[in-house]
Amino acid sequence: MQHRKILLTENDIPDHWYNIVADMPNKPLPPLHPGTKEPIGPEALAPLFPMELIKQEVSADKWVSIPDPVRDVYTLWRPTPLYRAYGLEKALDTPARIYYKYEGLSPAGSHKPNTAVPQAYYNKMEGVKRITTETGAGQWGSALSFACNHFGIECEVYMVKISYEQKPYRKFMMNTWGATVHSSPTDHTNAGRQILAGDPNSPGSLGIAISEAMERAATDDNTKYALGSVLNHVLMHQTIIGLEAVKQMEMAGEMPDVVVAPFGGGSNFAGIAFPFLRLNFDEGKTIRCVASEPSSCPKLTRGVFRYDFGDTVGMTPLLPMYTLGHNFVPAPIHAGGLRYHGAGVIVSQLLKDQLIEARAHDQLECFEAGVAFAKAEGIIPAPEASHALATVFAEAQAAKEEGKPRTILFNLCGHGHFDLKAYDDYFSGRLVKHEVTSADIENSLAMLDTPLI
């Protein structure tokens, strides 16, 4: 019998997260105040986040200990299995050896609870009563609802109106875990009222929902805000994925030549890739790490590296990142989680320094790979995860053309059970090949007046 799964026990759950900042040759540049454009210190974040998360956000310690109550919740689904994709290798007729880490076994069905749980925990420890957040398709909102429920904190989610209406099942999940879900824009924040005054039928956007959730937290002492990607502490929490995967690859008796993950803001990519990059830094290994983004929102492959806002409205600090411009509106493709205009600061610096790579894929190529994977391995991938698969297919093909083995590891960061409508659209021919034009990108970037680097 071939061994498909490489399993750890609960005792093997890592007791520290890895903070890659300690090893980066060029440290991330500081965030700037949105008004004065001067560097801001950690205290500027205090209205929004608990102190412990702010400390982690600016920490240069290489290892940050995972509190026992967090590890205890992690045992609900961690350690996650690492699979050898024998079925896929056969289907692709490739000499490549393909492995994947499966994060779809968490209660919310993706990697997002890996950070939702510690974020809820640190808020609880500091006496916070309520956490607000935004959600697009609902993956982050459901992860945070689950985590808040566990620690007895109220959770208030601003869900983009169009998703609220078209994708109700994630909302029902959030309700099941006790969260309040608003269709954003609402009339109970200034940001929401302002949008509704201009357009009472606004379909909402992630940028608007962020502004509403942040305003709630900034104006209520008992309320804080939480973000599911992009920020340094979020990326660090996700390294639990790669720390487990390093152990599992060692158990399999090999190391990946290339590590692949889909890329929205960078959290699941960082999660699997950073612990392997550590081996490059510490042990001189040469493991390639590749981020896979949609060609409809290609900030890593076609964006610019400069300061930009994290939201559409321009409320957040200015962050040094690869961006398409905060006014960039991606085409309404279905891989909702990857439609963000910018990339996390750490990942951006690593790309700038050529320590990681990026590829962009059209959505038809991704769904084709996703369906082939489901047929070969059984698990139906989240549309976001299918972007990694498109890169994996290209790597497997390259190995075949070279006639040489290569070991590929990718992050299957979530299942697609709530995204079957997108699969239906693909099967019915309603999805089109989509690539932004250079003019679209140039127009969006021309609107930026944020500081250059």
Q: Which of 329, 348, 413 is nearest to 101 (CA)?
A: 413
Residue 112 sits in the site that holds ligand PLP (CB under 6 A): yes
Neighbouring C-beta atoms of residue 276, cutoff 10 Å: 22
CA atoms lying within 13 Å on the CB side of residue 211: 22
Does the protein bind ligand PLP through residue 118 (CB under 6 A)? no
- DSSP state, 253? T
Residue 44's CB is within 10 A of a number of other CB atoms, namely 14
Shortest reach from residue 368's CB to ligand PLP, in Å: 18
Residue 325 contacts ligand PLP per CB under 6 A = no
Q: Shortest gap between Cβ of 387 and ligand PLP (angstroms)? A: 8
**Phi and psi torsions of 76, nearest 5°:** -60, -35
Q: Which of 249, 272, 300, 338 binds ligand PLP (CB under 6 A)?
A: 338
Q: From residue 138 to residue 167, what is the string marking binding to ligand PLP with x (rule CB under 6 A)?
A: -xx---------------------------
Q: Would you say 184 or 268 has its CB closer to ligand PLP?
A: 268
Q: How many CB atoms lie within 10 A of CB 287?
A: 19
Identified binder of ligand PLP from the candidate list 161, 328, 414, 431, rule CB under 6 A: 414
Please identify, using beta-carbon distances, which residue of 96 and 338 lies nearer to ligand PLP.
Answer: 338
Q: Which stretches does DSSP call E strand in 1-81?
A: 5-6, 16-18, 63-65
* 382 scored as a contact of ligand PLP (CB under 6 A): yes
Q: Which amino acid is at 428?
A: S
Query: CB neighbours of 443 closer than 8 A, spacing ≥ 6?
Result: none
Residue 413 interacts with ligand PLP (CB under 6 A): yes or no: yes
Q: Please state whether beta strands 63-65 and 16-18 pair in parallel, antiparallel, or not at all (unpaired).
A: antiparallel
Smallest gap from Cβ 167 to ligand PLP, in A, equals 13
Return d(Cα 335, Cα 139) in angstroms, integer.
Answer: 11
CB of 401 to ligand PLP, least distance (A): 29
Residue 407, interface with ligand PLP (CB under 6 A)? Answer: no
Listed ranges 30-38, 53-61, 211-219, 377-385: which one lies at the site for ligand PLP (CB under 6 A): 377-385
The Cβ of residue 1 has, within 10 Å, a number of other Cβ atoms equal to: 3
Our CB check for ligand PLP shows the closer of 78 and 112 to be 112
Q: State the nearest-atom distance from the C-beta of 234 to ligand PLP, in Å.
A: 7
Cα separation, 412 vs 262, in Å, equals 9
If the CB atoms of residues 112 and 288 are measured against ligand PLP, the closer one turns out to be 112
- Residue 381 binds ligand PLP (CB under 6 A): no
Side-chain-side CA neighbours of residue 427 (13 Å): 8
Q: Using alpha carbons only, what angle is made at residue 254 by residues 359 and 14, rounded to the nearest 5 degrees?
A: 85
- Tokens 């357009």 sit on residue: 199
Residue number of the CB closest to ligand PLP reads: 264
| Strands annotated E in 168-255 | 180-184, 223-225
Report if residue 323 touches ligand PLP, rule: CB under 6 A.
Answer: no
Q: To which residue do tokens 């509106």 refer?
A: 329
Instruction: Tell me how many residues contact ligand PLP (CB under 6 A).
Output: 20
**Which residue in 350, 376, 370, 379 sits closest to 290, CA to CA?**
350
SS3 call for 324: coil
Please count the other Cβ atoms lying within 10 Å of the Cβ belonging to residue 435.
15
Chain residues 19-38 in contact with ligand PLP, contact rule CB under 6 A: none
Q: Which of residues 223-252 bind ligand PLP (CB under 6 A)?
A: 229
Element (H, E) at 323: strand 318-323
Position among 212, 257, 384, 395 found at the interface with ligand PLP (CB under 6 A): 384
User: To the nearest whole angstrom, how small is the minimum distance from the Cβ of residue 413 to ligand PLP?
Assistant: 4
**Contact pattern for ligand PLP over residues 253 through 292, marking x by CB under 6 A:** ---------xxxxxxxx-----------------------
CB of 418 to ligand PLP, least distance (A): 10
Closest CB to ligand PLP among residues 140, 151: 140
Number of helices and strands (H, E) in the chain? 17, 15
Which range touches ligand PLP (CB under 6 A), out of 38-46, 70-78, 190-198, 382-390? Answer: 382-390
**Whose CA is closest to 380, among 422, 341, 332?**
422
Q: How far is the CB of 332 from ligand PLP (least distance, A)?
A: 16
* Under rule CB under 6 A, residue 337 binds ligand PLP: yes
Which residues are at the interface with ligand PLP (CB under 6 A)?
110, 112, 139-140, 229, 262-269, 337-338, 382, 384-385, 413-414
